[in-house]
Amino acid sequence: MNKNKNNLLIFLHIPKTAGTSLRKIVERQYSPNEIVSLYGFDSLEKQIGKYTSNDLRRKKCVLGHFQYGVHSHFSRPCNYVTMLRDPIDSLISLYYFVLQNPNLPMYEQVKNKTFEEFISNENVHNRLTWYLAGEDLPNLQKAKENLKDFQFVGVTEMFDESVFLMKEKLGWGNVNYKKLNVTKNRPKIKEIPNDVIEKVMEKNQMDLELYQYVKNSLKNEINALGHESTKALKAFKTSMQKR
């Protein structure tokens, strides 16, 4: 159960981490007027500036594509949640998703490039670390330090387990979900040439370490569940697989 239920919940939505599915779950826990949605292309300051101080005091949840640090815009205790995904799979998904969506600002960087050419751009690497560090450049140590402010960090490859534990920790209600915003017509990791995958791994060492660190922590948390919670998790996974 959420011991800090009066804290502002901040959902740091990293693109292509199954975050849209989680976003819909989060949105169901609040009424629309309790949510600050920061998904626009304007600067964070400009988007938040559209709300009055009184408006912000009444909000209970903030969600959007932003780095760690958005809590500095709110004068009350905050709890972050987020979802991480295998860095290699996430980068493949990002490339093909942008390629299929010409309306995205990043499309101009992708439209005439192969995936191998896309990963030559240093700015696309260590994205998970960059989001969690909240600095101009990816900083693994800072990202790990900032995890103390996260009430929960899930893993896309263990989505059912992650959602179940969020429900338990945050006292959420209905968390049934459907997979949303899935990138279509994209190759699997095993279909990408090995030498290209090796380049991705070489350039994303910080993300790989951060992801494994979080995944190990999640596994330890699941292994520590009591008998009743383990049964409830199994039942939840079974119900989601039938949807």
Model pLDDT, residue 1: 41
- CA dist 55 and 165 (Å) reads 30
Model pLDDT, residue 243: 65
Model pLDDT, residue 179: 78
Q: Dump pLDDT digits (tens) for 184-236.
A: 888 999 999 999 999 999 999 999 999 999 999 999 999 999 999 999 999 99
Q: Across the beta sheet with 150-155, what order do the strands follow?
A: 35-38, 61-64, 8-12, 78-84, 150-155
**Is residue 3 predicted with pLDDT exceeding 70?**
no
Count of CB atoms situated within 10 Å of the CB of 212: 14
Please tell me whether residue 36 adopts helix, strand or coil conformation.
strand
Q: Dump pLDDT digits (tens) for 76-117.
A: 899 999 999 999 999 999 999 999 999 988 898 899 999 999
- As a whole-number percent, the residues of the chain with pLDDT over 90 amount to 77
pTM confidence score: 0.92
pLDDT, average across residues 69-74? 92
Domain covering 8-241: architecture: 3-Layer(aba) Sandwich (3.40)
Model pLDDT, residue 4: 66
**Is residue 6 predicted with pLDDT exceeding 90?**
no
**Is residue 2 predicted with pLDDT exceeding 60?**
no
Model pLDDT, residue 184: 80
**Is residue 146 predicted with pLDDT exceeding 70?**
yes
**Is residue 60 predicted with pLDDT exceeding 50?**
yes
Model pLDDT, residue 18: 85
- CA dist 175 and 168 (Å) reads 11
Q: Dump pLDDT digits (tens) for 10-57.
A: 999 999 998 888 999 999 999 999 999 999 888 899 999 999 988 898
**Residues in contact with 109: Cβ distance below 8 Å, sequence separation at least 6, in sequence order:** 98, 118, 121
- CA dist 87 and 155 (Å) reads 11
User: What residues does each domain of the chain span?
Assistant: 8-241
Model pLDDT, residue 41: 83
pLDDT, average across residues 126-151? 97
**Is residue 172 predicted with pLDDT exceeding 70?**
yes
Q: What is the mean pLDDT of the chain?
A: 92
